């Protein structure tokens, strides 16, 4: 056992190929695995375009097309305006409305792809996954899905800080010990 550890340690310190194998032996976290899978899926999507698009040519338009393409694999029923269940959070019966990707899934996907883009040498300033058009699209999907389900998304109100001052027992004019409470 000890001999194997020493042999692998000496091999990995001198041989770059052994280092790569040692890193490959360490299992990736769930997040890292998903990020790698998402990155490969997006790369394959770009290759399948006619004509093929390279990552250096990729822009936010390609990302938006990719997000719309993914809707065909969605599992979230989004009721249309004409549906009798539009605005009902728990419809009592099935309907023919389309299945789409859930907003939360798309938001998480964009976060992973944004990180993967920068890990693969992309500039954070030129990252197509961080473009304002992508944020706008995600916001519209979120609002549309919330209306279709009858669940309004509201921003949570921030708690205001209230500063209460107490006077010390020794000096009634001393206001130097503020206490902060959350209301």
Domain ranges of the chain: 30-149
pLDDT above 70: percentage of residues in the chain: 69
Lowest mean pLDDT among 11-20, 60-69, 138-147, 154-163: 11-20
How many of the other CB atoms lie within 10 Å of CB of 115? 17
Contact 79, 148 (CB under 8 A): yes
Q: Which residue has the higher pLDDT, 16 or 30?
A: 30
Q: Which tokens belong to 21?
A: 């194998």
As a dihedral over the C-alpha atoms of residue 59, residue 65, residue 70, residue 74, rounded to 10 degrees, the angle is 120
| pLDDT single digits (tens) 81-120 | 888 888 887 888 888 888 899 999 999 999 999 999 999 9
């Amino acid at each position: 056992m000890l001999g194997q550890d020493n042999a692998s340690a000496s091999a990995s310190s001198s041989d770059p190929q052994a280092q790569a194998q040692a890193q490959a032996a360490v299992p990736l976290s769930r997040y890292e695995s998903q990020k790698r899978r998402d990155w490969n899926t997006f790369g394959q999507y770009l290759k399948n375009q006619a004509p093929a698009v390279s990552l250096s040519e990729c822009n936010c338009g390609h990302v938006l097309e990719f997000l719309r393409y993914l809707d065909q694999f969605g599992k979230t029923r989004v009721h249309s305006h004409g549906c009798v269940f539009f605005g009902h959070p728990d419809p009592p019966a099935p309907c023919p409305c389309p299945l789409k990707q859930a907003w939360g899934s798309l938001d998480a996907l964009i976060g992973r792809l944004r990180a993967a883009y920068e890990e693969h040498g992309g500039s954070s300033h030129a990252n197509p996954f961080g473009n304002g058009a992508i944020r706008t699209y995600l916001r519209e999907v979120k609002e549309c899905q919330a209306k279709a389900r009858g669940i309004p998304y509201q921003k949570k109100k921030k708690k205001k800080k209230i500063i209460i001052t107490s006077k010390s027992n020794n000096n009634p004019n001393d206001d130097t010990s503020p206490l902060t409470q959350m209301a």
